[in-house]
């Protein structure tokens, strides 16, 4: 029973509290052992309170602590017998492993899969920026070399320089210090299935295959298609989706900024430079970033004095790379290329365009997470930020499960309206 001698506002009346309690009941928070330090608050209570912060749209932990102390009935529903301070919430986010929150997410997703609300037939992936609350991101402050990637903010050593595109009228790139949250979602239910937060300088293509492996192993998913923008146009990703997942790679073509990406080869299979010379073999090497073997060819004038004596010591085209690069022009040819899968993708077909249109579901997922102030982090450090992002996804999934269980399936994606009194 709730205390009856309290004056409830619109946000804390009994109906609102009972809906919160319904959402909390599906979190299934695992136990966490403590061995040193102050007597802890219940772990489930901390998670409930941080989920409430998202649902209430509170911007920071100070507001959350104030809300708890102002409304005892709310603290009681969350599971507190006293009122935690801002520092307790901050400590919980900073020192709790992200795997703890991943288990909560997995339980929610498995239940939604069991109920059939998540079909996972079509998966979409994208990422969003998460700005760190450092002065470098505040354009009103005076900071020298604000976006110099070698000058990491002193107050957040984990933050890295990233960029994102805005479209107010014309396409514009903006820089920021912080992180990126990488998500794979179900395009029909528009619910997140996998998410991970990394520093902003980590490229998204390196994370997609491990995330798909995680989904395959944890939830035994076998999607019909994986949808992504041109940033994911990688031979490794296309091969993995087609061969390992047995799904259609609906990934936009990336021209790589080149008018003619095909290299002109001689009858011997050796690349020919702009001056018409066969380039010099400089050996094979393993490209760690792209996870592939490459064959390197360099400018023959730079590589061979004998050849330079015969044709001249300078590039006939006066190519800028001849003077700025130790090797002159360089061409890397990938070995063991299998282009059959990419050649069979009909980018202009109606089916491809129809499936690719489902990618906008990722944008709507991030739009809902923006309601939780996920992209305006109030904490610093990779682990605390990753946990805050995970809690935003947990909030979305918990509300979705609560709507289905309570017979309000039509409010699956309408978080605010579910709590409307």
Amino acid 100: pLDDT: 93
Q: Using one digit for the tens of pLDDT, what is the confidence trace for 80-99?
A: 989 999 999 999 999 999 99
Domains of the chain, each with CATH number or no CATH: 10-96 (no CATH), 118-253+348-397 (3.30.420.10), 255-336 (no CATH)
Q: How far apart are CA 317 and CA 275, in angstroms?
A: 6
Q: Which residues pair with 175 in a beta bridge?
A: 163
Query: What are the residues whose beta carbons fall under 8 Å from the beta carbon of 47, sequence distance 6 or more?
Result: 27, 29, 101, 104, 391, 394
* Cβ count near 259 (within 10 Å): 5
Amino acid 1: pLDDT: 36
* Cβ count near 179 (within 10 Å): 30
**161 in helix, strand or coil?**
strand
Tell me 85's DSSP state: P
Nearest in space to 313 (alpha carbons), one of 299, 325, 324: 299
| CA 6 to mean position of chain CA atoms | 43
Strands 330-334 and 160-166: unpaired
Amino acid 35: pLDDT: 56
Q: How far apart are CA 274 and CA 155, in angstroms?
A: 49
**pLDDT < 70 positions in the chain:** 1-12, 32-38, 168-169, 256-262, 289-291, 335-339, 416-417, 419-421
Amino acid 3: pLDDT: 43
Amino acid 257: pLDDT: 44
Amino acid 216: pLDDT: 95
Q: In which order are the strands placed within the sheet that holds 292-298?
A: 280-287, 292-298, 330-334
Q: Any alpha helices (H) in 240-381, and if so which ranges?
A: 300-303, 305-311, 320-324, 340-343, 350-356, 360-371
Q: How far apart are CA 275 and CA 280, in angstroms?
A: 13
Tell me 185's DSSP state: E
- Whether the model clears a pTM of 0.95, i.e. scores above it, the answer is no
Structure tokens at 60: 């920071």
Amino acid 325: pLDDT: 84
Q: Any alpha helices (H) in 193-243, and if so which ranges?
A: 205-219, 235-239
Please report where in the chains the tokens 């450092």 appear, as a residue.
134
**22 in helix, strand or coil?**
helix
Q: How far apart are CA 4 and CA 330, in angstroms?
A: 77
Q: How far apart are CA 239 and CA 242, in angstroms?
A: 5
């Amino acid at each position: 029973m709730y205390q009856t001698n309290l004056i409830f506002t619109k946000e804390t009346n009994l109906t609102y509290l009972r809906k919160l309690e319904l959402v909390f009941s599906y979190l299934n928070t695992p136990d966490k052992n403590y061995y040193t330090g102050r007597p802890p608050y219940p772990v489930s209570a901390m998670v409930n309170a941080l989920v409430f912060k998202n649902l209430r749209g509170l911007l920071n932990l100070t507001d959350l602590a104030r809300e708890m102390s102002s409304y005892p009935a709310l603290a009681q529903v969350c599971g507190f017998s006293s009122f935690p301070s801002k520092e307790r919430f901050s400590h919980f986010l900073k020192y709790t492993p992200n795997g703890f929150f991943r288990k909560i997410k997995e339980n929610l997703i498995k239940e939604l899969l069991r109920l059939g609300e998540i079909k996972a037939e079509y998966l979409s992936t994208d990422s969003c920026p998460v700005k760190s609350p450092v002065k470098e991101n505040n354009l009103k402050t005076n900071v020298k070399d604000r976006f110099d990637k070698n000058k990491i903010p002193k107050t957040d050593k984990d933050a890295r320089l990233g960029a994102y595109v805005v479209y107010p009228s014309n396409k514009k790139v903006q820089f920021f210090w912080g992180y990126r949250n990488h998500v794979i979602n179900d395009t029909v239910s528009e619910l997140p299935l996998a998410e991970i937060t990394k520093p902003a300088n980590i490229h998204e293509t390196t994370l997609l295959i491990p995330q798909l492996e995680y989904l395959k192993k944890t939830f035994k998913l076998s999607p019909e298609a994986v949808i992504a923008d041109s940033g994911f146009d990688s031979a490794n990703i296309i091969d993995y989706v087609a061969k390992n997942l047995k799904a259609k790679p609906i990934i936009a073509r990336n021209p790589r900024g080149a008018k003619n990406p095909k290299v002109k080869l001689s009858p011997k299979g050796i690349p020919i430079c702009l001056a018409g010379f066969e380039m010099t073999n400089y050996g094979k090497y393993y490209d760690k970033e792209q996870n592939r073997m490459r064959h390197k060819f360099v400018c023959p004038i730079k590589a061979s004095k004998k050849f330079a004596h015969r044709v001249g010591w300078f590039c006939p085209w006066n190519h800028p790379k001849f003077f700025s690069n130790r090797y002159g022009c360089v061409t890397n040819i990938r070995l063991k290329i299998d282009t059959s899968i990419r050649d069979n993708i009909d980018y202009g077909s109606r089916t491809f365009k129809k499936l690719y249109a489902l990618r906008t579901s990722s944008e709507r997922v991030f739009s809902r997470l923006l309601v939780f102030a996920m992209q305006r982090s109030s904490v610093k450090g990779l682990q605390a930020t990753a946990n805050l992002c995970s809690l935003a996804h947990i909030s979305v999934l918990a509300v979705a499960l609560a709507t289905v269980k309570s017979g309000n399936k039509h409010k699956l994606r309408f978080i605010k309206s579910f709590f409307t009194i």
